[in-house]
Amino acid sequence: MINVGSRRLTVTDFEKVLYHGEQVGLEEGAQQNVSANYTFLQAYAQHKVIYGINTGLGPMAQYKISEDDQRQLQYNLIRSHSAGAGQPFAEELARATMLARLNSLMQATSGIHPSVVELLRDVLNSGVSPYIPERGGVGASGDLVQLAHLALNLIGEGEMYADQAWRPTRVVLGSRGITPISIHLREGLALMNGTSAMTGVGMVNLVQARQVLSLSIILSAMTNELMKSFDDHFSLELNHVKHHPGQAHIAERMRHVLSDSKLIRKRPEHLYHRKIEEAVFTDKVQEYYSLRCVPQILGPIYDTFLEVQRVLEDEVNSANDNPVVDHHREMVYHGGNFHGDYVSLAMDKLKIVTTKLTMLAERQLNYLLNDKLNQKLPPFINLGTLGLNFGLQGMQFMATSSTAENQTLSFPMYLHSISNNNDNQDIVSMGCNAALMTRRVLDNSADVLVVQALALAQAVDYLQCQPRLSSFTLKLYTELRALVPAILEDKPRYEDIRTVRRYLLGLGASFNL
């Protein structure tokens, strides 16, 4: 049970709820705080001008709303802004959005009726997902359009994904004995103002980023192993003189993967402690950068991952709507906590470094497939008949295409503000766009790593070096070959790519990054 409101939620908590079936509970003291916050606002709002309760919204905030129309205002807001387009959020993204919104509301600064947090808990635990379209919000008053669609579900309208199909929300909730909320005071605005969609997507991105970074470390290490690289470039001695913690950490993880390899060479044994007679060295004295500089390339990616995790965990544990209701100080504060710049910038950073990781994997793959570069393997690691068969040639096209797409997608959304809303929202974050683009970059990266893994398995088959592999890489090779046999004949490989992708993401999740 993950008790929301009792402590800071972490990306690990999101992973447990989204992927491991962990149930969500509400911490009793925090629940009481939510109730006290609502009771205070209900009394305090009498005869005062408070945005979104007795005023219009956005540029129309100058218009007073009569007491008789105040509840209708909230319904109008939800329904009018349920105007998104594009593909619906994947289930884990929709559920992550709900969990992020629940945790924000449990900070007890939103003035919402306690039934809202209870409903969010119940919907999360029921395993259904709200319909939230990908395109909509600009990330300034938060994820207004995406969260409007969530709010629409919570008032019993719209659609939900349940039992492998989209169904009317009232039918889904009714079949599970769940009652939609009624508007009491400002539930519409409190559900819609905030960064919970971009943050929820960001949390899912962090889970996948950990997987692809772990895989890149493992496959980079194995690439060095099969090419019989020297060990000094990932040694403790070399990397401790560069004072970046990420670089040192990546080098240590590579040493862990290769700890008992019999293929990795020690430079003194080959180049220092024996007399060299030849004028032209047959072996490269130093490996190509894509092999030799892995700690320096993946190091800043790891450091950025930790920075992004800190920002997103700070955001998901924040009050991020407007106004902020402080029942302890008996005051209502108006401002811009719904603005998504922190998340937008964090997602762009994660997107950029993931693209660099993809570029590294693509270069390592190219090295393995190009016999003129590696001088150890046949072209495209073709284990069939050269000329007649194609080896991994077709798969390389997909990997190259995916890498190129990532490079184009990596323009920062953080710098892409467009004024809108009658210039009320005159500078915006585009945070949800940034988070969704980052997800696409991560998906592409995973596919490139799949091809690299298959290439490494082919290389092992050609070199017949199984007895000399490290115990870690031998296990990886054995498990890969149990899923996909050696590629000899030409046949469609898209199902193999899907199968290996599922396996590799599981391996990345279990690796102690």
Active site residues: 51
E strands in 385-498:
none
d(CA 439, CA 205): 6
For residue 198, what is the enclosing H or E element?
helix 196-226
Residue 27 structure tokens: 């911490």
3-state secondary structure 256-277: HHCCCCCCCECHHHHHHCCCCC
What CA dihedral angle connects 34, 38, 41 and 46, to 10 degrees?
A: -170
d(CA 206, CA 200): 10
CB 447 within 8 A of CB 399: yes
CA-based end-to-end distance of the chain: 25
CB 190 within 8 A of CB 41: no
Reference 312, options 347, 338, 339; nearest CA is 347
DSSP bridge partners of 85: 135
- Give, as one character, the DSSP assignment of residue 117: H
d(CA 241, CA 15): 36
Say whether 3 sits in a helix, a strand or coil. strand
- Give, as one character, the DSSP assignment of residue 48: S
d(CA 43, CA 215): 55
13-20 long-range contacts, CB within 8 A, separation 24+: 14/96, 14/99, 14/200, 14/203, 14/204, 14/207, 15/207, 17/95, 17/99, 17/124, 18/92, 18/95, 18/96, 18/99, 18/204, 18/207, 19/92, 19/207
